[in-house]
Structure 1
């Protein structure tokens, strides 16, 4: 299962990146006209200067958070950018929030796992009930292959920037700060506790 997800992501990212190269332009493929039109429908509010992640709420609005260094606020906004709700998540700290996702049982997961310097030992995902915005617990974790804090420059691949929930598991995607540029995929249970990611 994890291998299938990793392969799908590899194909997606490879196709996205290859579309920009000279070899793609000379490939002989017919360039189709877009069947869509991009238009501006809204603007992010000033209270969210560094939005980091969006997830669809039950009522067709969006949940979002601010990146690290900002307050521990959860925002619900319209597609036009109007704030519908702003909630302080008591018991949570925003060291470096990077992404938000939700499960099918009414929980939001806020990833406090930004780690640009690759030296954090306090990586956390906050599990929050969507209906009352209360903190259920924390999912603390470490990477099984990180033994140095920070590692050597050619091994700086422990900065997580994205997360999804699927079938009781959280999947984390690393950002590689080395010249290798390989994103790793890790998996965690969605229950509060302390774990070594798989």
Structure 2
């Protein structure tokens, strides 16, 4: 559990390359009615995506929430949960939700806006297990995935899995868990 806490603290307190000063409140456009992921590229470029039920769209707004662009990616959007980016500006979209714990293979799409290119990072969990990922972060050429539990009773863990941030098929590596 200790490495997971160090990673979370590092992600929270690490120097940011983007120091965005955003308004404390703004109204999102109707297209963003079920936001599930947000990546702040800089103060006037915010990338968003909706949860399940939307087309495979990502939306760019300015720092006041005004829609600037809608990009439909040549992918599927089963249950998009989160998005992040790497130091090269590539955006990762996590189609990693599994509320019913039925999906055997999950996908993270890597979108390069400068090339309008989309790659797929496909993965499974070890031993055929099923987890419901709700958050992810890019760190040192890997994607760090964090699960949630829907069971209301008990002291249940959050699991931390890692997959490479490169196109391909992988088995996610269980790194840690925390209660």
The TM-score bracket by the shorter chain reads: 0.7 to 0.9
Identify the residue that residue 123 of structure 1 maps to in structure 2. Answer: 106
Query: Would you identify which runs of 4 or more consecutive aligned residues in structure 1 move more than 4 Å?
Result: none
Give yes or no for the alignment of 1:51 onto 2:35.
Answer: yes
User: Quick one: higher RCO (CA 8 Å, sep 6+), 1 or 2?
Assistant: 2
Please report how far the alpha carbon of residue 58 of structure 1 lies from its aligned counterpart in structure 2 after TM superposition: 5.0
Identify the residue that residue 25 of structure 1 maps to in structure 2. Answer: none
Identify the residue that residue 142 of structure 2 maps to in structure 1. Answer: 169
Pair 171,10 (structure 1): closer, same or farther in 2 beyond 3 Å: closer
CA RMSD for the aligned pairs? 2.3
Identify the residue that residue 141 of structure 1 maps to in structure 2. Answer: 123
Pair 9,60 (structure 1): closer, same or farther in 2 beyond 3 Å: same
Give the whole-Å Cα distance in 2 for the aligned partners of 1:76 and 1:10: 27
Contact 1:111 1:124 in 2 (8 A): yes
Scaled by the length of structure 2, the TM-score of the pair is 0.80
Question: 1 or 2, which has the higher strand percentage?
Answer: 2
**Paired residues, number:** 159
Give the whole-Å Cα distance in 2 for the aligned partners of 1:88 and 1:185: 30
**Is there any run of 5+ residues in structure 2 with no aligned partner, and where?**
10-22, 174-179
Scaled by the length of structure 1, the TM-score of the pair is 0.73
Give the whole-Å Cα distance in 1 for the aligned partners of 2:138 and 2:7: 15
Pair 10,78 (structure 1): closer, same or farther in 2 beyond 3 Å: closer
Q: Please tell me whether Structure 1 or Structure 2 has the larger radius of gyration of its CA atoms.
A: 1
**Is there any run of 5+ residues in structure 1 with no aligned partner, and where?**
12-38, 150-157
